[in-house]
Chain A
Amino acid sequence: MSIFFDIFKETTNTKDGLSELNLNAGKEFFLRLFSVFPVSAFLTTTDGKILMSNAQMEQMFGYSHEEFLRRSSPELYADQNVRKELIKIFLRDGYVRNFPATLKKCSGEPLDVSMNIVGVHEGKEIHLLGMMENVSAIKDIKKELAEAKEKFAFLYQNSNDAIMQLSPPDWQFTAGNPATIKMFQVKSEEEFVSLAPWELSPEYQPDGQRSSDKAKAMIDKAIKEGSNSFEWTHKRYKGDNFPVEVFLIRMEVRGSSFLQAIVRDISEQKKAVRSLEAFIQKTKERISIVLPDIENALLKKGGENQQCNDQLDCLLSSIDSIVSVMEDKTAYLENVRKTMVSLSSELSAEKDKLSELNVRLETTLKSIGDGVFVVDKTGIVTFGNPAVAEITGYDIEEVIGKKCCTALRFYSSNKELEVNTDIKETMSSGVERRMPPNAVLQKKNGQKIPVSAVVSPMRNNVEEVIGCVVVFSDMTKERGLDKAKTGFVSLASHQLRTPLSTILWYIEMLLSGDVGGLEEKQREYLEDIQKLCVRMTSMVVALLNTAKIEMGTFAIKPMPINIFDSLMASFESMRPIAEKKNIFLEKRISPEVPTVAADPKLLGIVFDNLFSNAINYTLNGGHILVSIDLKDDDIVISVADDGIGILPEDKEKVFAKLFRSDNAKETDVSGTGIGLYLTKSLVESWNGSIYCESPQKGKEKGTTFFVTIPISGMKERAGKENIISN
């Protein structure tokens, strides 16, 4: 599936992030490709009218080709909100990839798919090409598999019969359930599988055969005929011999055979049978002694001998009860046999189902583009799908059976040496984790690629974590798209600045008189134009910074900074304007404020903004008070002016993008409305806070802005961009 998606992406002209296939250029090729897609595909206009559908699509939905062309795509959705969501994502990103959606077949039945959409050009029009995979099948398989697994696990764990596994080539024991451990009186499964079968049997069987020879014969028969049942004598580990009944069944999972043995300890039965036999023998002897006397007595006395009658009755009823007990026991043994047979065939059926479902799941996993692998508690990778090999560049043999960090190395924390942190975390906490957005995977060739990955815990039937499943996908292309977006914003701002700068120079030439004299009014108008252009230039910078902030891509580079120096440097750059307006600056600096780790550029932007606002919105002859204080774990900087103030209802809004309050607009027409939004975003990026008070404490008007920096300083952050300070 992903291959086709990639083909489309490769053969596109990427314009502003939109994927386009030039239909006209390769229409023939496209139509042929379309008809032989191994996935369902259909082409619609932007209104939803269906233009084309392929055979897979028709089969999946149950419509004929003609029926499809008469319909529109909303008819394929049970819930129109799903369709709206898809269109929203397409408009936002220019494509849709692997979106899980539920559509509707012709019969009305729901259909779970993974939806992909790409834009296709035909002349001037854009059509939508939808490609999808049926994931209902996968859902059902997974459900059945989970149920079968649960059932089997329960039987295995809780059966009183010993269930064990022998594997080729030499048919040693490779697994044993709790009942096995108990039966052989070993300490654990580990101990059990470390023993050779001859250590758990006497050298000779009761029939005189050598145990090793007879065992081989029994195994061969089971392999040839599929199963074998027989009596055997085992030996408890470091203990006595005991008799058992054995059912050997041949199992096939993923092309390899192994043997499963169900073993029942019949020592008790044997004992019972022996004591029964002894009792019968004794009774027989008793009867043979007593009976002739009774017969004689009867013949002689003619039947009126009460004592003899009683004795006879007694004997007869004893015989009856013995016979019925014997019958019961035989029936019991017979039932036991039947139960064992049905148990083992049930187990066998479950295991067959499991192996069938496993095969189906594997086939499905093979075609998924995402890498899926399983790590057990010891850190060994027990399963990996082909995509794991494809993405990492390792052969699958280099991954499976080895420690996870040998081949699969995920880096997500900022510490260089910490590998696979999220996998280790989930293994110990049992909580599912999504790796952070900066997660990378190291390929075999050493290259680190950005990935999106989720780690989920796997539990056994007693809720213990026995491993983790990791699903990951290569995000290089998506990140590339992000990069293209930021590149676009930078390019756009360059394109906007170019004519602006030229206009400014032209106005400069006109105002300088180089190209002729000017009337007073002409000069005035030109100066107005100049101011407007300057305003636009600062708007472009603000927009660019906003884009960078929203994409979270700017860097923080802290170094030891004296906050006071930084504040004063910022004010100095505005001194001329402040002096023009006769605004007086007062400072109140607490002496305890230490040097702190801070990014001077970001600080500069924040302070510039606060000062610029204070000066702009304060009338001539006004007053600005700047103070730096220590409060708990923060350094608090405040800039207080006695200017126009902020109305209570605007206090929260001033930090919003492009917001300008009415009283601000009256005072200064040229503000962008972006300054405080930018400032707030920057302050929050270093875990500081910003808030305002208006009117000033103890006064009737004015505004005070507070900004905090944690004493522990700003944390360094890597970023692809730097915020522009001018």
Chain B
Amino acid sequence: MKKILIIEDEPSARKVMTDKFSREGLDVVCAFNGEDGLAKALEIKPDLILLDLIMPKMDGISMLRKLREDGEFGRKAQVMILTNITSDDEERMKELTFLGPECYLVKANWKLVDVVQKVKETLHVE
């Protein structure tokens, strides 16, 4: 069973995502902020990380930057950005591109089923 790590500070968002992804047959682990997320990522080494950007303690971009610097797993880890900040901030997008996420999804614009579809595609799961 494929493992996914959801790094999201909002409890209700975590709840609904965990529920949905579990129903789709995925093993779900959650983290509440960037710091917690980084620790869990390096510990569990999930097949996919769903990463929010605006979080307390350590934001998404900082977490991803640190992850990429941490060894073999960090460099190759698959990460999908799942946020509510729109992609119009050029500087942020430039930095993010260098950190190599799989994609950048704006939660308010994506149906949950479509996010599931995207996740399954990335994991090569049916």
Contacts and interface: CB of A to CB of B under 8 A. Distances in A.
A614 to B, nearest CB: 24
A504 B106 CA distance: 13
B19 A514 contact: yes
A410 B111 CA distance: 51
A493 B19 CA distance: 27
Contact of A490 (B12, B16, B89, B109): B89
A537 to B, nearest CB: 5
Given A494-B54, A502-B12, A509 B84 contact: no
Contacts of A504: 108, 111
B19 A498 contact: no
Contact of B109 (A508, A512, A544, A726): A726
Nearest to A726: B109
Interface string A712-726: 000000000111101
A500 B111 CA distance: 12
Contacts of B86: 493, 541, 544, 724, 726
A501 interface: yes
Given A497-B84, A502-B10, A509 B54 contact: no
Contacts of B84: 494, 497-498, 501
Interface string A512-555: 10110000000000000000000001001100100000000000
B85 interface: yes
B112 A498 contact: no
A506 B89 contact: no
Contacts of B111: 504-505, 508
A548 to B, nearest CB: 9
Contact of B16 (A494, A505, A540, A724): A505
Nearest to A725: B88
A723 B90 CA distance: 11
Contacts of B54: 494
A121 to B, nearest CB: 25
Contact of B113 (A490, A497, A508, A515): A508
A505 B85 contact: no
Contacts of B124: none
Contact of A502 (B13, B88, B89, B109): B13
A498 B90 CA distance: 21
Contacts of A501: 13, 84, 107-108
B20 interface: yes
A537 B107 CA distance: 11
A505 B88 contact: no
A287 B100 CA distance: 124
A509 B108 contact: no
Interface in B69-119: 84-86, 88-90, 106-109, 111-113
Contact of B112 (A493, A508, A537, A726): A508
A723 B12 contact: no
Contacts of A498: 10, 13, 84, 107
Contacts of B85: 490, 494
A535 to B, nearest CB: 12
Given A494-B54, A502-B16, A509 B88 contact: no
Contacts of B112: 505, 508-509
A27 B90 CA distance: 44
B57 interface: no
A492 to B, nearest CB: 12
Contacts of A512: 113
A531 B56 CA distance: 31
Interface in A449-482: none
Contacts of A724: 86, 88
B107 A509 contact: no
B20 A514 contact: yes
Residue from A497, A500, A541, A724 whose CB has the most chain B CB atoms within 10 Å = A497
Residue from A501, A544, A721, A722 whose CB has the most chain B CB atoms within 10 Å = A501
Contacts of A541: 86
Contacts of A509: 16, 19-20, 112
A721 B88 contact: yes
A514 B88 contact: no
A514 B84 CA distance: 25
Contact of A506 (B16, B107, B108): B16
A718 to B, nearest CB: 11
B10 A722 contact: no
B71 to A, nearest CB: 32
B114 to A, nearest CB: 10
Interface in A269-307: none
Interface string A689-726: 00000000000000000000000000000000111101
Contact of B108 (A500, A508, A515): A500
Contacts of A502: 10, 12-13, 16, 107
A494 to B, nearest CB: 5
B120 to A, nearest CB: 16
Interface in B15-32: 16-17, 19-20, 23
Interface in B34-88: 54, 84-86, 88
B35 to A, nearest CB: 20
A514 B90 CA distance: 38
A515 B22 CA distance: 13
A509 B16 CA distance: 8
A717 to B, nearest CB: 14
Contacts of B88: 721-724
A498 B84 CA distance: 6
B52 to A, nearest CB: 9
Nearest to B111: A508
Contacts of A497: 84, 106-108
B91 to A, nearest CB: 9
Nearest to B17: A505
29 contacts: A490-B85, A490-B89, A494-B54, A494-B85, A497-B84, A497-B106, A497-B107, A498-B13, A498-B107, A501-B13, A501-B84, A501-B107, A502-B16, A505-B16, A505-B20, A506-B16, A508-B111, A508-B112, A509-B16, A509-B20, A509-B112, A514-B20, A537-B108, A544-B86, A721-B88, A722-B88, A724-B88, A726-B86, A726-B109
Interface of B: 10, 12-13, 16-17, 19-20, 23, 54, 84-86, 88-90, 106-109, 111-113
Interface of A: 490, 493-494, 497-498, 500-502, 504-506, 508-509, 512, 514-515, 537, 540-541, 544, 721-724, 726
Given A541-B86, A724-B88, 9 more contacts: A490-B89, A494-B54, A494-B84, A501-B108, A502-B13, A504-B108, A509-B112, A512-B113, A544-B86
The 9 tightest CB contacts between A and B, nearest first, are A501-B107, A501-B108, A497-B84, A722-B88, A497-B108, A505-B112, A502-B13, A508-B112, A724-B86
